[in-house]
């Protein structure tokens, strides 16, 4: 785009449209070239400090600065659609412990290929029996080119992150890939050991090192705990106090 006039201190919005058709990261640069409206050059001083930044200037024949360049790198990361995904529910009574196995399907992954079709139907599958956050895994399974991933359990707030961080453990136990479609299945073992009732949502985010991102919703529910004990107080008479003693043990300091 040429011929845009800017007054002093005026702002310019530059829209960048990103419509990926492959599950990978795209790289580009936005270059802004500014010249004076009257065609005059900026004065140029031949200094060592300025020479380091000559790549940001266009120098005229007479030695003046004809134009100034601003170069902004842009990284576009493809993200799989997740409109109709059903959250994987992990439920447990407070003060107890449960293990669940969560299986996720990453569609549109072809190891070693430059063009990977966009994932159209990524899905959360299966939440029956057993998070290390930001763990890196390699999916090989007999393929010559490995596919590297990072996974993370993301929360909507720091408060939820603190609650789940103390009660949820997660690690990858199995990965496999379909040779025909290229789809990858990852199976996670999730340990949920809540110490109080809660209902928190989270998102399992899996990122391909090459740029693709898949997100799967999860729901952690901790119901009321079982009764710890029953305290019986026997009356000793009318208008007289009865006392019973019992000990409480704190699990923290």
Find the CATH number of the domain harbouring 181. Answer: 2.60.40.2310
Instruction: Answer positive or negative: Cα dihedral of 36, 39, 43, 45.
Output: positive
**Count of Cβ atoms closer than 10 Å to residue 43 Cβ:** 8
Asked whether residue 166 falls in the same domain as residue 62, the answer is: no
Backbone region of residue 3 per phi and psi (left: phi > 0; alpha: psi in -120 to 50; beta: other values): left
Do 91 and 39 fall within a single domain? Answer: no
pLDDT at residue 191 is higher than 60: yes
Q: Which helix (H) or strand (E) holds 158?
A: helix 158-167
Cβ atoms of 26 and 75 within 8 Å: the answer is yes
Helix then strand count (H, E) for the chain reads 2, 12
| Distance between CA atoms of residues 129 and 221, nearest Å | 16
Neighbours of 83 (CB within 10 A): 4
Same domain, 59 and 100: no
Predicted TM-score (pTM) of this structure: 0.66
- Higher-confidence position of 127 and 151: 151
- Considering the domain architecture, whether residues 25 and 102 belong to the same structural domain is answered as no
Q: In this predicted model, what pLDDT tens digit does every residue of 87-142 receive, in sequence order?
A: 999 999 999 999 999 999 888 765 554 444 444 444 444 444 444 334 444 333 33
Query: Structural domain tally of the chain?
Result: 2
Q: Which pLDDT value is given to residue 63?
A: 67
In the block, residue with structure tokens 């120098």:
59
Phi, psi torsion values for 29, nearest 5 degrees: -135, 140
Average pLDDT over the chain, rounded to whole? 79
Residue 234 covered by a domain: no
- For position 220, what pLDDT does the model report? 96
The string of pLDDT tens digits covering residues 199-221 is 999 999 998 877 789 999 999 99
């Amino acid at each position: 785009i040429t011929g845009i006039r800017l007054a002093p201190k005026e702002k310019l919005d530059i829209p960048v449209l990103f419509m990926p058709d492959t599950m990978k990261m795209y790289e580009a640069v936005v270059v802004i070239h500014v010249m004076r409206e009257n065609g005059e050059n900026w004065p140029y001083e031949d200094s060592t400090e300025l020479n380091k930044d000559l790549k940001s200037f266009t120098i005229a024949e007479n030695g003046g600065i004809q134009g100034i360049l601003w170069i902004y790198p842009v990284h576009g990361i493809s993200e799989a659609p997740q409109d109709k995904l059903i959250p994987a529910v992990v439920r447990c009574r407070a003060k107890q412990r449960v293990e669940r196995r969560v299986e996720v399907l990453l569609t549109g992954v072809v190891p070693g290929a430059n063009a990977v079709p966009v994932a159209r139907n990524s899905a959360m599958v299966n939440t029956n029996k057993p998070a290390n956050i930001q763990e890196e895994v390699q999916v090989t399974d007999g393929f010559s080119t490995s596919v590297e991933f990072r996974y993370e359990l993301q929360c909507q707030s720091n408060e939820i992150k603190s609650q789940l961080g103390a009660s949820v453990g997660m690690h990858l136990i199995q990965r496999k890939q379909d040779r025909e479609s290229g789809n990858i299945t990852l199976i996670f073992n999730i340990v949920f050991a809540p110490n109080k009732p809660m209902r928190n949502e989270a998102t399992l985010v899996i990122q391909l090192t090459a740029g693709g991102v898949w997100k799967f919703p999860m729901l952690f529910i901790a119901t009321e705990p079982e009764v710890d004990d029953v305290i019986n107080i026997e009356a000793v008479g009318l208008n007289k106090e009865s006392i019973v003693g019992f000990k409480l043990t704190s699990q923290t300091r």
